[in-house]
Amino acid sequence: MKKADRNIATIALVTAFCLLGDSMLYIALPIYWREAGLDGLWQVGVLLAVNRLVRLPLNPFVGWLYQNISLKTGLLFAVIISVVTTIGYGIVSGFIAWLILRALWGLAWSFLRIGGLSVVAFYGEQGKHGEAMGVYNGLHRLGSLVGMLVGGALTPVFGLSWVSISFGVVSATGTILLLAFFKNDEDEKPAERKRTKEFLGKDILLRNPLIMSTGFLITFLVQGVFMATLSSLIVYHYGEEIHIWEIMITAAALSGALQALRWGWEPFLAKKIGRWSDGIYGRLPMFIGSLSVGATSFLLIPFDFHPMAWILIVLIVLVACTALTTLTDALAVDAASSGNRVRFFTYYSVVQDFGAACGPAIGFILLSFHFGYEILYIGCGVLLVGIIFIWMIIPWQNKKSEAKYREV
């Protein structure tokens, strides 16, 4: 395997190990919150959201640090923090202690996300950024798959504390992978990446409005709205227990199974989608097609169908989500490739985190209204149609326009 490919695969697997504990919490903490010493479910909601909120101010700080340290150093720091926080879930008790741990995990994820995207941009072979991003996204989401499935299965048997400590120990494997297999390129030095006197500033957002706004909207729709409201959407249509082929399954179990399917196929499908988008026709036709499929399925999903037909629509949405996240990130790598990559991905991560934070908040506010699910998902479908319209009318493939979007 080439050094560049090995580096991308290594950071993806390192990120997967670090995600084990965080992903497990989304399944276990809403049920076993008393074991964590919490006083109510509202504290669970705060703890699962605070790591995203702290990243909004932390991302620029982490990006600035990456201007002065190597990618490997920053990533190693992230792994150490993730190990400490995951083991900490099994040791500490009480809301304040957990709040500190979740904030520290937010810092770790800032280092992982900005560093990981920068690795793809730096080491990805020219003309194959789509495939590289597919490999990165697909492999690192295996951590979410294992964390949710294994964590959800073991926590009822062994308890939240034992599972957290065990996952923390396993996450330490990321340190070994990083030290053994990630090799810095001779050109990958902080001095090479420090190309601007002023790291912070609004200019990078103003010079890349299309990429940044698309990154915000896709994350808002996929991670923010859809993933957060899927369980309640199932209950809205079919109640807390669904009968399929004379088999009873709970809404929570069905939601978890559907999301696990996505994490399971991403290592293969995301890479394929990225490779196809590297072809002679470019990313735009596939991106427009994925947006069209996503818009159509979002418009259908709030309405009643036979359970199996509705599940099929959800699976189509999930495939579209895989394509849209992979292609949006690949477009971002294209835009960042000729400029200060770390600086670009710092702000790209900020807008994505902002979208992920806004999605659940706006989504659940709309759900409080009459016909809230219809309003929310029809609105999401309309937003996707709007993204299609913008990308079709803006000549982003024109060299002059492309140069503008690549300027950092």
Residue 10 near residue 115 (C-beta atoms within 8 A): no
pLDDT for the residue numbered 289: 94
| CB burial string 204-221: b at 16+ within 10 A, e below | beebbebbbebbbbbbbb
Pick from 302, 304, 297: which is nearest to 369 by CA?
A: 302
- The rounded distance, in Å, linking the Cα atoms of 17 and 271 is 20
- Whether residue 293 is found in the same domain as residue 394: yes
pLDDT band at 337 (very low <50, low <70, confident <90, very high): low
Q: Is the dihedral of CA 281, 287, 288, 290 positive or negative?
A: positive
- Whether residue 5 is found in the same domain as residue 112: yes
Whose structure tokens read 């990981």? 116
Last residue in a domain, options 181, 214, 248: 181
- Whether residue 91 is found in the same domain as residue 32: yes
User: Across residues 43-67, what is the average pLDDT?
Assistant: 85
pLDDT(391) > 60: yes
The proportion of the chain whose per-residue pLDDT surpasses 90, expressed as a percent, equals 33
Residue 196 belongs to a domain? no
- Whether residue 169 is found in the same domain as residue 258: no
- Whether residue 338 is found in the same domain as residue 242: yes
User: What distances in angstroms separate CA 355 from CA 53, 124, 349, one per listed residue?
Assistant: 11, 26, 10
User: What distances in angstroms separate CA 353 from CA 202, 222, 252, one per listed residue?
Assistant: 17, 12, 25
- Whether residue 231 is found in the same domain as residue 116: no
- Whether residue 141 is found in the same domain as residue 252: no
- Whether residue 261 is found in the same domain as residue 381: yes
The proportion of the chain whose per-residue pLDDT surpasses 70, expressed as a percent, equals 89
List residues bridging with 242 in a β-sheet: 249
User: Across residues 117-127, what is the average pLDDT?
Assistant: 80
- Whether residue 401 is found in the same domain as residue 355: yes
The region of weakest confidence among 72-76, 212-216, 293-297, 303-307 is: 303-307
- Which range of 179-188, 297-306, 398-407 scores highest in mean pLDDT? It is 297-306
pLDDT tens across 243-290, in order?
A: 777 777 777 677 778 878 888 888 889 889 988 888 887 888 899 999
pLDDT for the residue numbered 185: 63
Last residue in a domain, options 181, 214, 239: 181
- Whether residue 14 is found in the same domain as residue 118: yes
Residue 256 near residue 27 (C-beta atoms within 8 A): yes
pLDDT tens across 81-117, in order?
A: 999 999 999 999 999 999 999 999 999 999 999 999 8
- Whether residue 174 is found in the same domain as residue 307: no
Residue 210 belongs to a domain? yes
Structure pTM?
A: 0.77
- The rounded distance, in Å, linking the Cα atoms of 116 and 348 is 13
Residue 194 belongs to a domain? no
CATH of the domain at 146: 1.20.1250.20
- Whether residue 52 is found in the same domain as residue 14: yes
CB count in 10 Å sphere of residue 407: 15
Per-residue three-class SS string for the chain:
CCHHHHHHHHHHHHHHHHHHHHHHHHHHCCCCHHHHCCCCHHHHHHHHHHHHHHHHHHHHHHHHHHCCCCHHHHHHHHHHHHHHHHHHHCCCCCHHHHHHHHHHHHHHHHHHHHHHHHHHHHHCCCCCHHHHHHHHHHHHCHHHHHHHHHHHHHHHHHCHHHHHHHHHHHHCHHHHHHHHHCCCCCCCCHHHHCCCCCCCCCHHHHHCHHHHHHHHHHHHHHHHHHHHHHHHHHHHHHCCEEEECCEEEEHHHHHHHHHHHHHHHHHHHHHHHHHHHCCCCCCHHHHHHHHHHHHHHHHHCCCCCCHHHHHHHHHHHHHHHHHHHHHHHHHHHHHHCCCCHHHHHHHHHHHHHHHHHHHHHHHHHHHCCCCHHHHHHHHHHHHHHHHHHHHHHCCCCCHHHHHHHHCC
pLDDT(401) > 60: no
Residue 197 belongs to a domain? no
Residue 373 belongs to a domain? yes
pLDDT band at 207 (very low <50, low <70, confident <90, very high): low
Residue 148 near residue 263 (C-beta atoms within 8 A): yes
Q: Structural domain tally of the chain?
A: 2
- The rounded distance, in Å, linking the Cα atoms of 344 and 354 is 16
Virtual CA dihedral for 323, 329, 331, 336, nearest 10 degrees? -170
Can you say whether residue 93 is alpha, beta or left, with left for phi > 0 and alpha for psi between -120 and 50 degrees? beta
End-to-end Cα, the chain, rounded Å: 31
Residue 216 belongs to a domain? yes
Q: Look at the chain and count its residues.
A: 408
pLDDT for the residue numbered 203: 58
pLDDT for the residue numbered 18: 95
Last residue in a domain, options 131, 151, 181: 181
| Structural domain span for residue 43 | 1-181
- The rounded distance, in Å, linking the Cα atoms of 368 and 211 is 32
